[in-house]
Homo-oligomer: A and B are copies of this chain.
Amino acid sequence: MKTDRNLEETEPAEIYKLEKIFSGKEGTNMTIEEKFAKLGVDNAPGQEERQKAAVLDLRGEKLEGREVDFSHGDVDAFEPIPGSLETFEEGYRVGGKQAYTPYRGGAGSLADLAGKLSAYTQMPIDPDQNLIITPGTQGALFLAMGSLVNAGDKVAIVEPDYFANRKLVQFFGGELVPVEMHYFEHDDRAGLDLEQLEDAFRQGAKLFLFSNPNNPTGVIYSHDEIVKIAELAGRYGAFVLADELYSRQIFDGRPYTHYGSAGDPENLITIIGPSKTESMSGFRLGAAFGSAQIITRMEKLQAIVSLRAAGYCQSLLKLWFHEPEGWMKERIAAHQAIRDDILAVLRAAEGVRVRTTEAGSYVFPKLPPLDVTIQDFVKILRVQAGVTVTPGTEFGPQFTDSFRINFSQDHKAAVDAVKRLLTVMERYRA
């Protein structure tokens, strides 16, 4: 099997150029080498330890301090739901019935979870028809996209939004139709460009995928925005895939509107999981609920992707939405306090812009002009400050001056690390 290795080892920064070269050559016309060249992973959160050593323009001294990996939350600082290990043990002791559930999940887990998610989102969820348990929320997203996107399909996605969204569209041979979110222009709504969204639907996009709260900016779509998205999707007969992974971690008592409360129940899938606020990522659990037809497709796909979420881990779902009294409240308050301190530090630096995180654990600051690329800046930060962040370009090719941090970390270590980050930044101002 002759393959073009060089193409696949393309630097992530080059991938966006390739996107342009390949556009008009979407999906079915791409070779598998081209397809995987676009699926970069080296700058993806958590992969930094696998990056090859690069020649970097290092300036000044290395800054001492506790290393912080802002690419994902620290489950040592914020531990999984109390009782997790004991509940896993109970599941293990159930034996074969727990190990080999149907692909969509065990009947007991589905029934329990349907009730809880229905109460949470105010949507009817039939555990037998409208729900599937998946290996993490990533698993739910993959199965949903695989069930909805065919080669050549146009898919509307938000910029910025979760980095896997664009990769999934490309992997399934779809065509990206970006819709901008003007997140710096508002503080009472996400700032989705609704005209661009309508234009995407007018051009033929039959699927709109968005995260709410938004990853990476941490902003919430307003009730009006949600209603308007539902109205447009309805008018153009489009399906909506809503990623509500961070919807339980809302700050300042802001209102939050589940897309399911406004959208056509036959034309939507919502995905969610306990990996973030609840720190259960190590168990790989997630869920999708909505259209029975698409859930059925997702189960067919799960049967060939990984069979099921790890059976023993599924037993942990009983703890989700049943956390000890006050535990979630305390956890949210702790995150809000970290957010406040980090925002204050960032805003004290000249030329740094950042919108206030309204939900979830991300901030997405925009830097003043630097004389190194964001990719190099990120690598320099690791070496000079022991700080790992995710470059903005993972969330859209235009975010060459931004980076994302997940502040679900030890409070003091996180604030100190942001200070070191800014010290390094000063050395590279253009």
Contacts and interface: CB of A to CB of B under 8 A. Distances in A.
Interface of A: 1-3, 5, 8, 27-28, 30-32, 35-36, 39-41, 44, 46-47, 49-50, 72, 74-76, 79, 84-85, 88-89, 92, 95-96, 98-104, 107, 134-136, 138-139, 142, 147-152, 164, 167-168, 171, 173, 206-207, 237-239, 267, 281-284, 293, 296-297, 299-301, 303-313
Nearest to A97: B76
B293 A39 contact: no
Contact of A282 (B89, B100, B142, B283): B100
Contact of A2 (B3, B171, B237): B237
B305 A139 contact: yes
A303 B164 contact: yes
A300 B39 contact: yes
A96 B103 CA distance: 28
Contacts of A147: 32, 36
A32 B92 CA distance: 38
Given A1-B239, A28-B28, A282-B310, 17 more contacts: A1-B238, A5-B293, A8-B297, A28-B173, A32-B149, A36-B147, A39-B303, A44-B303, A47-B102, A49-B102, A49-B107, A75-B99, A76-B95, A99-B281, A139-B305, A281-B311, A305-B306
B1 A237 contact: yes
Given A96-B76, A103-B41, A306 B306 contact: yes
A47 B96 CA distance: 14
Contacts of A74: 96
Q: How many copies does the complex hold?
A: 2
A171 B100 contact: no
B310 A284 contact: yes
A156 to B, nearest CB: 13
B100 A36 contact: no
Nearest to A48: B102
A103 B284 CA distance: 12
A284 B173 CA distance: 29
Contacts of A168: 304
B47 A103 contact: yes
Given A281-B100, A312-B283, A293 B72 contact: no
A297 B147 CA distance: 22
A164 B107 CA distance: 24
Nearest to A142: B305
Contacts of A47: 102-103, 303
Contacts of A95: 75-76, 79
Nearest to A164: B304
Contacts of A134: 306
